[in-house]
Amino acid sequence: MRNHFHLKTLAVAIATLSIASVTNAAGLDRSGQDVTAFFQDGTYAEAVYTYIDADVSGYDSANTNPSQNAYERGDKTGDIAEAYDFFRYGVKADINDTFSVGVLYDEPFGAAAEYTQSNFVSQGDLDASISSITDGAAPSLAAAQAGIGALAAGETAGVLTAAQQAQLDGLRGAVAVAQAEASTAGENTNVEVRSQSLTGMLGMKFGANKNFQIYGGPVAQRIQAETKLRGLAYGPASGYTSTSNPDMDYGYIAGIAYSKPEIALKAALTYRSEIEHNVDIAESYPLVAIRAVAAGATVEQATALSNRASNYEITTPKSVNFDFQTGINPTTLATAKVRWVPWSDFVITPPLYNDTSKISYGPDGLNLVEYTDDQWVVELGLAKRVAPALAISGTVGWDSGAGDPTTSLGPVEGYYSVGLGAKYNLTENWAVSAGGKYLWFGDAKGQLPSDKLVGDFQDNDGFIAGLKVSYQAK
């Protein structure tokens, strides 16, 4: 007689607690966009709480000259990763033996980072800033201005040598950076990105034994962000601030699944579309005002130019998830997850930031955030029923990251992870699961959009704790 591996007793405690973040995974990936709640038998509902605490620290660069990209080890940055938590909910029901419906909520993308020390904090000391940027050649604002005055006449007359012109440009740049520093004295670099997603799903089973299922539906996604760049690390961009208002836009999900209940086998391939957001953004850029005043504008005119409200596009990336499980014996279940996200196609390009950068970096300007590689995530797990109402599980995982060097607002190159969890069936229908994971983060250099290296982050780690309450009735 063939054994049947009942999913109710083999269910994995935390197999669906995917983990990702701008501070501990590739890009802005946070929840992993898990959909496995939809593949549970009968009527099913779950509520999942996840808490992530990462330790990401390193050293800034002692080279604060905006025109030189080389990294020189400087001071400690302290821990820049902010702890955060999020929720995920899922509800699924069978209409009949062919059709199923479900609704899923998660928080797919996000970031939470803040520098509280080092060259990523604005000091507001004009003389110290200028001396640092010019390697002591101009030890104060007065000295820099005197140097500019001495060379400016020669520039007007067209008699400066190439070396003298370079010196003049360097002094002007140093003064601009120092003035931007002074306008935001004592402020920290920080970034926060929040998103919410609601997915509706309709599935249809087919085949002789209803082993196959196609599914899909609409996705509503909301996203908002705030960014502050501060300190000598950001050179002329120090003082830049942007606030993106919440925007709701829509995409879709589609996939195909196969199941074989006799051995508790389930496999699903899920595609999520990219979603294009048209975001209202308010930007402030002190460098714009500094340049405007130098060109003869009044303070009022310069202030107006350095603050802009506009609209731009952010396209959150598409993704592909593969979820697999199979019974090994009547009390043991094996699981596997694979996720791909093309972060190399993702950019954040605020209009004022981009327009200002065109002066120094050509007609295309710079993106505020971009990545060089696509993300791959692989997680393997085993679950074992050790008592009629208790199952335990273990997982190992790997995240490829999205390139190194990477943005200074999320300087981690993927991770390795191990996890443990347990699920206890409180009643025939209700269960509670809990677990945790430990992560070893990949070393990464922090880089500005201009390719300047501003930080080195090594030997970092973090942990994740999760709690899930679920209901299932067949």
Tens digit of each residue's pLDDT (9 = 90 or more) over 77-122: 999 988 888 889 999 999 999 999 999 999 999 888 899 988 898 8
Measured distance CA(275)–CA(298) in Å, rounded: 42
Measured distance CA(82)–CA(85) in Å, rounded: 10
Cβ-based burial of 156 (10 A; exposed 0-12, middle 13-18, buried ≥19): exposed
* pLDDT score of 359 more than 80: yes
User: Taking the alpha carbons of 441, 447, 448, 449 in that order, is the dihedral positive or negative?
Assistant: negative
Phi, psi dihedrals of residue 82, rounded to the nearest 5°: -90, 135
* pLDDT score of 225 more than 80: yes
- Looking at residue 29, what is its pLDDT? 86
Tens digit of each residue's pLDDT (9 = 90 or more) over 277-313: 999 999 999 888 877 776 767 768 877 888 999 999 9
- Looking at residue 219, what is its pLDDT? 98
* pLDDT score of 251 more than 70: yes
The average pLDDT across 266-285 equals 96
* Architecture label for domain 7-122+184-473: Beta Barrel (2.40)
pLDDT grade, residue 258 (50/70/90)?
very high
Q: List the beta bridge partners of residue 59.
A: 76, 456
Calculate what percentage of the chain has a pLDDT beyond 70: 88
The average pLDDT across 137-166 equals 78
Is the preceding omega at residue 405 within 30 degrees of 0, hence cis? yes
- What is the per-residue burial (b if ≥16 Cβ within 10 Å, else e) of 345-378? ebbbbbbbbbebbeeeeeeebbbbbbbebbbbbe
Residue 38's nearest CA partner among 338, 259, 362 is 259
Tokens of 199: 């997915």
Tens digit of each residue's pLDDT (9 = 90 or more) over 10-53: 444 333 333 333 334 677 888 889 999 999 989 999 999 988 88
Phi, psi dihedrals of residue 151, rounded to the nearest 5°: -95, -25
Kind and range of the H or E run holding 180: helix 162-183
Mean pLDDT of the chain: 86
- Looking at residue 30, what is its pLDDT? 83
